[in-house]
Amino acid sequence: MTTIIDPTATFEDAKELIAKIETNWESVKLPHKLVSAFICAWEKYTGHPALRATGMTRLHTSSDRSENIADVDLSLGIAVSPLRALLHGYKKTAKDIAARSSVDAFLVEYKSKVQGTPACWPELESAIDSSSDVTAEEKALLKSFLTDSEKFYDIKGITRDDFATPALCRASGKRVDRFSIIDQIAAAAHLDPDIYSMLLEFINNVDSKAVAPASELKLDDLIPSNFTSSLLAKPFTIITGASGTGKTRLAKDIAKYLSNTEGTNSATVAVGADWTDNRSVLGFVNYLRTVKQDQVEYPVYQSTPILDLMLAASEDTTTPYFLILDEMNLSHVERYFADFLSVMEQDPGVLELHKEGDRKLPRHEGDLKGVPPQISYPSNLFVIGTVNIDETTYMFSPKVLDRANVIEFTVETGAIESFLKAPTTYPEIEVAAPGIAAGFLTLAKQARNLEIAKLPQASTDSIANHLLNLFAILKDGRFEFAFRTAKEVNAYLRVCRHLSADQGTWDSEGWKQDLDDQILQKLLPKLHGSMGRIGGLLAELADYCHTGTYTERTENSAGIQLKTAANLVATDSTPFPKSLAKLKAMIRTLQDEQFVSFIQ
């Protein structure tokens, strides 16, 4: 059954998209994932290579010829790819009907360069009307398409046998001088429908710089604000604490709160002690099992719940996806998670999966999607790891801790007392209202790109002063931080200000509480060592978190004593009380055991 679609809506979509491309950018910088997908489609369509260059792509149109296409022109061609395919569909349908009905004169005139309606039109009109596999509505659309010269043909320099190029011109509202190469771009792009979707998402995201209002997120009271702010600023958070404090439950709560309709946008995976390489994360090609598809034997790709979640996240880019790694330090994190740690920091980050050519390998019998040779790290994937420390687990290396916000769960005396007197079950969290999950993801992407409003200059100066002082203290102790940490602290604070109910109060004093969280979650987690290694450093940090003042030490000046630091008491003027409390706890452990680490 032939299906004819009214092109009007497609025209309007193409016009709008092209207008955005031409209006908002002098040079569009397309995402690597989109360009890579297009290059694969181009090489499949033409049989000639395409190479990525800065701000443009070199398209080989024959064995001895190539053209450099700027990103904006490449976008133009991709934007009209659905329209081109639609119009060629009309062309093929008309030719099929003419051939079926022996309207030979139409086929001859159809290919001619004569403008206007074919002389044999009455014959073809009769053939269309008598066609049994075209509905009455579709017949009207098809006849309109073939005869409306004002809409499709009456453009200088365009011939009747080219049905795509007039469409490109009409969609853009102007003559496209390089219509030949643009037409080929459109044809190649149509081979992969995801290319158009990726372009549309990219254009719409860049076109709208408005940040999602905090009121639209409505983050639930059951989810601590520092946890949501951490995920928004960086999609990798580690939760540590004693067993039974609710770490995994919290991770599942936010995944449920921001779940999709089917509840399929999260996976909780228990890390095994035998995870000694990345096969437990990304899977592997199983040559001992094969599946026959289209008369060809393919080896099965032994997938994992983690890879399945990543593939789903790559297809559903407007929904946040959550990977919860339960007890992630039950094995050496660097052994199984090194690839993730690397690509998380890259833009784009690409994970290599197999080397079986360009084909997708099936995961099981009947798998229609399969596993591609490589996958870009999904920008909508959030990783939450839970950590227990005992004789069965391993400590994190600094490079792991440096890439995450580390949130420690502790049980206060008052909380356990209340529970013992009135035991209750965990409160059930409800799924967020429609649009909240999308707003969360939008805000997260904007936070990572520092597109949220900058902090006021007065707050920026005060925060920078504290961070520089802490940098100096940590550098003296050989635990200094670098640019990544500084950027992520800034992103976190921008998120906190954006989400605050009273930004005026936040600007004056409220930022101290959030900077306290970042000292605790980003600067202190890497601290570990013996009494001689970090004793003096812990005392200096505790003193600074207690007073907020720093005096550079000289050879003749003595710093605060460890015993004195252990007895510091927070007052109303203490700028960073939570960090002070943690440092005092570490000092006590150091005094008792002569060795301490942040995660205990």
pLDDT on residue 239: 93
- Distances in Å between the Cα of 329 and the Cα atoms of 273, 371, 385, 407, 560 are 9, 28, 9, 15, 35
Q: Contact, 567 vs 585, CB < 8 A?
A: no
pLDDT on residue 425: 74
Q: Contact, 231 vs 445, CB < 8 A?
A: no
pLDDT at 48 over 80: yes
Can you tell me the mean pLDDT for 189-216? 69
What is the percent of the chain where pLDDT is above 90? 34
User: Per residue in 536-560, pLDDT tens?
Assistant: 999 999 999 999 998 877 666 667 8
Mean pLDDT taken over the chain: 82
Over the range 470-509, which residues count as b (16 or more CB within 10 Å of their CB) and which as e?
Answer: bbbbbeebebebeeebeebbbbbbbbbbbbbeeeeebbee
pLDDT on residue 388: 84
Q: Is the torsion defined by CA of 123, 129, 134, 139 positive or negative?
A: positive
Give the number of other Cβ atoms within 10 Å of residue 149's Cβ.
14
- Distances in Å between the Cα of 414 and the Cα atoms of 226, 411, 425, 446 are 21, 8, 17, 38
User: Per residue in 384-419, pLDDT tens?
Assistant: 999 987 777 788 888 888 889 999 988 777 777 877
Report for 160-164, 204-208, 370-374, 436-440: range of highest mean pLDDT: 370-374
pLDDT at 113 over 50: no
Can you tell me the mean pLDDT for 43-59? 79
Q: How many CA atoms lie within 13 A of 388 on its CB side?
A: 17
* CA-wise closest residue to 239 among 489, 599, 514: 599
Are β-strands 236-241 and 381-387 bridged in parallel, bridged antiparallel, or unpaired? parallel
pLDDT at 522 over 90: yes
The structure tokens listed for 177 are 């001088």
Q: Contact, 191 vs 43, CB < 8 A?
A: no
DSSP 8-state class, residue 361 = B
State the pLDDT confidence band at 219, using cuts at 50, 70 and 90. low
Can you tell me the mean pLDDT for 96-110? 71
Compute, in degrees rounded to 10, the torsion defined by CA atoms 444, 449, 454, 455. Answer: 60
The reply to whether the predicted model has a pTM over 0.75 is no
User: Per residue in 67-80, pLDDT tens?
Assistant: 777 777 788 778 77
383 — phi, psi (to 5°)? -110, 125
pLDDT on residue 400: 86
Q: Which residue has the higher pLDDT, 5 or 2?
A: 5
User: Per residue in 465-509, pLDDT tens?
Assistant: 999 999 999 999 999 999 999 999 999 999 999 988 888 899 988
pLDDT at 221 over 70: no
Query: CA 521, CA 223: separation in Å to the nearest integer?
Result: 17
